[in-house]
Every structure is written in structure tokens, then in C-alpha cells.
Amino acid sequence: MRVVRRAACFFCHNNCGLLVEVEDGRVVGVRGDPDHPTSRGYLCERARFAAGWLYHPDQLRHPLKRVGERGEGKWKTIPWSQALDEIAERLKTLVREYGPECLAFAEGTYRSDAYWARARFANLLGNPQNVVGPSTICFVNAYAIDLAIFGRPLFSRADLKRSRCIVVWGSNPSESESSGGLQWRRILQALRSKPKPKIIVVDPRFTEAARRADLWLQIRPGTDAALALAWINVIIEEELYDKDFVEKWCYGFNRLAERVKEYPPERVEEITWIPAEKIREAARVYAENRPAAFTFGVSPDQLGPNSTRVRQCQAILTAITGNV
Ligand code: SF4
């Protein structure tokens, strides 16, 4: 008998809604759930191939113990009870001989102590601090900046549907969507509305978003902070900022104005390889079409040097133009 079950995809933390077709206890199809409140039927490639992943012959279903030399690829299946006993014994020996801090925990998509089971285990072991994860290069960087500047994260909550200017900076939403496809659909929806919002894309590559943009700034990779400083420079120099908002809510504006004098568009053209006039035009379009929003993307977190400064500058742009 074939039944359809509601489920959520756990291949990433968007947890898109799934309709899973099951026949005689076996998954035979996976599709997007159109009634899911956030993903609304969207699925990326990973979920579409979920059944293939589940039943792949190399899928790990039992503990395997190495029987050959490391790298030889020789394993034998052992029962769970034996695996757990052997691991527990090994951990006890390590802790006894070297102390609990001889161990480190590394994890993927989960960040910091978000993975409760690992956090609890590490606490009980007496070593809650040796944790490495992708937080500093994915999301948490920008999150921390927004917490410090605004008191809450704004960058992932842009209201694209009502924006008159959308800046796609550090994301490629039509291909690599971190919000279950929602962001790209909202951009397309906004593009169908009247009046159409202005779209600015900052990306070294000519992406699908760049193809639909009013302005595409083909930036030299890794120079985003300089570009953002030039935008702030233009907006302050040309008095395009929101004076009431700055007066009421912003601290350190005069020092900011002094600092960004070091980044006029002509100098930033040399750093970013974007023509100075185009930098000016983009800054004006951003400042003059309010409300304006930056899309959500984690690429700036991965730039290395100055990655934190990119989000800091975007947050400053959001603030001085009153787009909070
Ligand atoms: S974006 Fe893809 S991997 Fe992530 S939850 Fe949705 S379908 Fe699954």
C-alpha cells in the first residue's frame, strides 16, 4: 500500500517541508510540501535524491571496526553494544592518562553549543570548551555584528517584498539558497511588482541575479569592505543619509565620517577594480530608494581578512540610511 507522510528535510537546517511517498515500508518518492509555512513546496537537489541516499549500498547501517592497517579499507561489522563498550573504555583510558581536555569536538552545520547532545556529553566529560565548528565562517560572524550594533540580527530578516532597492551582496540566491529558496522567490516576486525595485548585485561572477540587476558591481574578490566604505563615503559626502535617524539613534557618526574620507571612490576603484562612477551610482541608488535591504548570504563571512568589517559596514549602511 502506498501512503504519503509529512516530514521535514534534515540535510540542512532550513528543514524544508517534505511529502514522502512510502510503499510497503519503503520510501519511493520525495517532493516538496506546498503547504509548508516557509519552504512552500521548494526542495533543493539534496532532498530530491534523499531516497537514493537512504538506500545507497554504501550507507552506513552498523558499526564497523577496522581490522586492517589505517587506510587499507578493511572493516568488520560489530554489534552496537560492543562498539559502545569499546569506545567507552578508550575514552576512560584517555581521560585517566591525559585528562578530559585531551579531546576536541568538531562538527559541521551545527554551531557552537547548538547541538545539545554533544554539548551535554562534553560537559559530563569535563571538557565543554574544546569545540570547533564553522560558526566563524558561516552566519555567526554576521549575527554577532548585528547583535552588537542593533541588539538583534537584522541581516537575515530583510523585507524584500516591500523594498524599493534590493542589494544582493554575498549570495547567489537562484543557485545556492540558504533559506529554502524563499529569498530568490521573494526577489522574483518583487521584480514583478510595480514600481519594480532597483536591484544591485555585488559579485565577481555574472550570476542569474546579476543578469536581472539594474547595477552589477563585478568586484575583485576579497575587497568588499573597501567597497562598502566607499558607499558610506559617498552617502555622507552627498548628504544622502537619514539625518533624523542618525541624530536620534546613531553613535560615533562624526568619527565614522572622518574615517571614510580615506575611502573615496577613486581610491576604491584601484582596490576593487570597479569604476569610481559606478561605485557612486550604486551608493546613490541604495540611499535614494528606501526602504532598501541587503539579502541574506554568508559569503562575506568566508572572505578571511576583513570579513567581519564587511558586515559591520553593511550594518552601518543600514543604520545611516534609516533602513533598520
Ligand atoms: S534547502 Fe535543501 S537540504 Fe536544506 S532543508 Fe531544504 S531541501 Fe533540505
Same domain, 96 and 150: no
Residue 231 within a domain: yes
* The predicted structure's pLDDT at residue 319: 96
240-270 per-residue burial string, b: 16 or more CB within 10 A, e: under 16: bbbeeebeeebeebeebeeebeebbbeebbe
Distance, CA of 36 to CA of 67 (rounded, Å): 47
Same domain, 181 and 313: yes
Q: How far, in Å, from the CA of 13 to the mean position of ligand 1?
A: 7
Q: Are the C-beta atoms of residues 47 and 30 closer than 8 Å to each other?
A: yes
Using the atom order of ligand 1, give the atom closest to the CA of residue 177: 1
Same domain, 85 and 28: no
Q: What residue ranges in the chain does DSSP mark as E strands? A: 2-8, 17-23, 26-32, 64-66, 75-77, 105-106, 131-132, 165-169, 198-202, 215-217, 292-294
Same domain, 23 and 167: no
**Comparing C-alpha atoms, which of 157, 207, 211, 178 is closest to residue 44?**
178
Range of the domain at 70: 64-132
* The predicted structure's pLDDT at residue 177: 66
Pairing between strand 292-294 and 165-169?
parallel
Residue 14 within a domain: yes
Q: Is the dihedral of CA 208, 301, 241, 218 positive or negative?
A: negative
Largest distance between two CA atoms of the chain: 72
Pocket test for ligand 1, best of 9, 40, 45, 172 (most atoms within 8 A of CB): 9
Count of domains for the chain:
3
pLDDT beneath 50: ranges in the chain: none
Pocket test for ligand 1, best of 10, 13, 14, 172 (most atoms within 8 A of CB): 14
Reported ipTM: the value is 0.99
Beta bridge partners of 172: 176
Same domain, 111 and 162: no
Among the candidates 99, 132, 165, a domain finishes at 132
Same domain, 247 and 205: yes
